[in-house]
Chains A and B, each alone.
Chain A
Amino acid sequence: MDLHDKTGLLIDDMPEMRSSMRIQLADAGLEKCDTARNVKEAIDRLRDKRYDLIVCDYNLGQGADGQQFLELVRRKQLLPLSTAFLIVTGETGYEQVSTAAEYAPDDYLLKPFTAELLGARIGRILDKKAALAPIHRHLGPGGDRSKALAACDELLAQGGRHLLDVLRLKGELLTAADRNQEALALYEGVLQQRATPWAEVGKARILAALGKEDEARDHLQQALAAYPNYLAAYDSLAQLVEKTDKAAAQQIVEQALRVAPSTQRQRRLGNLALENKDYARAETAFRRTVEKDRTGFFKGHDDYVGLAKSCVEQGKTMEALAAVKDMGASFANTPELKARQAAVECQVHVRAGNESAAKAALDRALAVQKAGGLDAATALEVARACFAGGKQEEAKQIIQTVAEDHDENPAVLAQAQGVFAAAGLDDEGTLFLEATKKRMIRLNNDAVALAKSGQLDEAIAMLTEAADRLPNNCQIAINAAQALLMHVLRNGADAARVARARGYLDQARAINPEHPKLAEADAFHAKVAKAAPAT
């Protein structure tokens, strides 16, 4: 393959390795190649420019590795699927790379190698990217998954050497679309031809989705006996077992960590250990997440919160407060950071019996919270501090706003329930969150009813007030836009209302570009905007 028109990014922390790799890449034909010395530089490059190929060393220094970097940039959507990712590793890193987790590199190459072999491998992975491009095109943010599925079927009908890769993508798409029977048939069809780990895990996930959880669990355990390095199987199994047996889930995550280190899994282990009241283990896990990552890109506020909580539960007040302080030194000074620090500090002091220090910290947390704009996780942490500090009403008020704002997000609602549970108010929490959910449904229904009965102004007022107050509620923003557009449709050209509708649709897209109602609303906007052009 001719690589002269391709662009590459080489990431390696060792200067001599960087220069020798660059020479090898140029020998292989890849002349347009930028370099990055560390995770920060690599992220800056990816923000600026789209590359055909990333060549990344496994060891990146500062406690970072190529696999974790790949997971980070794919998750942050800094690396489109059309960009190939090649990890270069010594033989000792090979097992950790080739352990197919959720985000696997397109290929890995063991050192030492010749420029010829490097060129051949790059040619191969770029060929494969080109073959799968018709599918990948629809898998980016805001992409149309049904078009991706159609592209899979077209490629399958054409045949060719990447059929198995197409089937794998199709299986994932069918699974994501809850087309469970079709996905099951696909995986079973593949497994009839050949035993392969991804199809085993895919099948197990479908069995779980169909409610056959015992069968899914047995299936994953058998898969792990045959494929002991297959991280996706550990992750799926832990997720499945976690629902009924958190201690067993903790063991499975421990096993996965023995296969390959990962900040993500250390964090999961820490959280499971916290729930299992295994505070010493939680402390080691969180300590590792915060200490190992010296880049600051892989850890988060939560890791320091976990560390502080596992320390204070063991009576280590000083260590817990030190974790709160370290959190401040490790991240940018945002309102989220300040609120988190104060909220956790309050809880540590409550646990240690320092009433006045707890109250002072809680006041600081509430001051930041009242300024508004905190993300859900931080706001819920402040709610926890409120419960701990005896301010029940404030706690409920915060949780209510979060729950209304995220009423379509089960993960946030589960966290909210967790806050009630931690305060010993599990049942009350269930009722409270149910009521919130019903209130949101009623709000939407009432607005739609008003609109249908011709009271469009009232509907618009109700929905835009809610959309402005709840900046993370996708459904409300879409409904607000639709009410505005209906007004234009009924009363004639009105550029201001069309523009306001556009604003709410943009708000909705920023929250969740995959929202099922969004495409339809966009089409409605396009139709109305065309009929009533801005004058």
Chain B
Amino acid sequence: MEAPLDPLVAAAIHDAKNALMALDTRLAQAAHRATGADFSAARADVARIAGQLAELLTLYRAQGGQLRLAIDDHDLSDFLADLAAELGPPPAGIELAIDRAAAERIGPWAFDAYLLKLALLDALRNALRHARARVTLALDQPPEGGIRFTVSDDGPGFPAETLAGALVPSDGSGTGLGLAFARLIAARHRTPSGRAGRLELANRPGAVLEIWLP
């Protein structure tokens, strides 16, 4: 399903991302000058929108057959530390638990750190928005091989149609971009022997999102 890409679209997305970076710099400068004022929520919004644009660009390039994953070894503890730093502190009243012990145990794994980080940041932001009190990011090695990142929250769970595979939820709860991106990124992680990653969604009873990597 490859289609020739319109360079205008990619250029427009790039432009918008650069404008966001400039906005973020202004916010940082304003935060520096105005002592006491809290710009962290505004900056978090900027980071979220920038992440979505990056996802959009990736999906767009994948459609044109121009997405190539850059797979390399990454230490999982370091990866989770970077992820937590980029996500920032959770909103007031919500606890975020990240399973660092499993990362220590597994050590390094080969994956595209940039794309996987985008997918997990989106999933975590989404979980933090819907959670009542708690979000967890767990990591384990399932018996069938590979590794699995699990993002779960104690909110109302995914809408039934999302679990059934609908791309865009009709209740206006989101665009479906994040899930489409996570599904693409998981599936594009493959091994030479033909094993591939996947995305799994469930309600237990809060939303559970699993990214399986081979």
Interface residues of A (CB under 8 A from B): 91-92, 94-95, 98-100, 104, 110, 112, 116-117, 120, 124, 161, 163-164, 194-198, 200, 219, 222-223, 225-230, 259
Contact = CB atoms under 8 A, between A and B. Distances in A.
B70 A94 contact: yes
B111 to A, nearest CB: 10
B36 interface: no
A91 B10 CA distance: 13
A195 B73 contact: no
A116 B85 CA distance: 9
B109 to A, nearest CB: 6
B24 A112 contact: yes
Smallest CB-CB A-B distances: 4 pairs: A195-B191, A98-B70, A222-B192, A196-B110
Contacts of B168: none
B71 A227 contact: yes
Interface of B: 14, 17, 21, 24-25, 54, 68-73, 75, 77-78, 81-82, 85-86, 107-110, 112, 114, 190-193, 195, 214
A200 B14 CA distance: 35
Contacts of B85: 116-117, 120
A200 to B, nearest CB: 6
B82 A117 contact: yes
Contacts of B14: 92
A108 to B, nearest CB: 10
Among B17, B68, B70, B112, max chain A CB count under 10 A is at: B70
B190 A164 contact: no
20 contacts: A95-B70, A99-B70, A112-B25, A117-B85, A120-B82, A161-B75, A164-B107, A164-B108, A195-B193, A196-B73, A197-B72, A197-B110, A198-B73, A223-B192, A225-B190, A225-B192, A226-B71, A227-B69, A228-B69, A259-B68
B142 to A, nearest CB: 14
A219 B191 CA distance: 12
Contacts of B75: 124, 161
A226 B78 CA distance: 24
Contact of B72 (A98, A200, A259): A98
A110 B73 contact: no
Contacts, number: 74
A112 B110 contact: no
Contacts of A92: 14
A168 to B, nearest CB: 8
A186 B111 CA distance: 21
Contacts of A200: 192
Contacts of B24: 112
B70 to A, nearest CB: 4
Given A163-B107, A195-B214, A219-B192, A94 B114 contact: yes
Contacts of A124: 75, 78
Contact of A195 (B69, B77, B107, B110): B110
Nearest to A117: B85
A225 B75 CA distance: 24
A104 B72 CA distance: 11
A99 B72 CA distance: 8
B192 A195 contact: yes
A92 B17 CA distance: 12
Nearest to B21: A112
Contact of B110 (A120, A161, A194, A222): A194
A98 B114 contact: yes
A226 B81 contact: no
Contacts of B82: 117, 120
Contacts of A259: 68
Contact of B107 (A104, A112, A120, A161): A161
Nearest to B73: A196
Contacts of B72: 98, 100, 104, 197
A226 B73 contact: no
A75 to B, nearest CB: 21
A219 B193 CA distance: 9
